[in-house]
């Protein structure tokens, strides 16, 4: 019996560790986007790595994750000369100014 309890406890600890490790690789929560008043997409628990492309250009982003994000006007998360990215803190939202154009991608801040 003692060996069985030890194995059960060890298995539980391993599962918990795996779950906690997986959570560290993503921004927990959702990012909601709109184009004007029309909803575009809702992204849940995006990966913390790499560039994420929106399905189309968006003019409003609400960051309901536990991580800050950076919004880009390019599809590849680059900043061409004269074009700035937009930093969006957790639990905030922003609207693109008409003169700057829509956002097309984002990255998660580590």
The SS3 of residue 18 is helix
Q: How many CB atoms lie within 10 A of CB 58?
A: 25
Q: pLDDT tens digit string along 36-49?
A: 999 999 999 999 99
Residue 10 in any domain: the answer is no
Its pTM stands at 0.77
The SS3 of residue 19 is helix
Residue 5 in any domain: the answer is no
- The number of domains in the chain is 1
pLDDT of residue 97: 81
Residue from 39, 41, 69, 35 nearest 54 by CA: 41
Q: How many CB atoms lie within 10 A of CB 72?
A: 23
Residue 71 in any domain: the answer is yes
The SS3 of residue 78 is coil
CATH number at residue 71: 2.60.20
Please check the confidence at residue 11 and state whether its pLDDT lies above 90.
no
Residue 32 in any domain: the answer is yes
Containing domain of residue 41, as a range? Answer: 27-108
């Amino acid at each position: 019996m003692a060996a069985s309890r030890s194995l059960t406890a060890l298995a539980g600890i391993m599962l918990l560790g795996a779950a906690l490790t997986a959570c560290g690789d993503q921004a927990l929560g959702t990012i909601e986007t709109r184009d004007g008043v029309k909803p575009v997409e809702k992204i849940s628990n995006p990966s913390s790595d790499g560039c994420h492309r929106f399905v189309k250009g968006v003019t409003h982003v609400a960051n309901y994750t536990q991580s800050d994000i950076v919004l880009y006007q390019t599809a590849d998360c680059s900043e061409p000369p004269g074009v700035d990215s937009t930093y969006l803190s957790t639990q905030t939202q922003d609207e693109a100014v008409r003169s700057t154009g829509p956002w097309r991608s984002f990255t998660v801040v580590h």
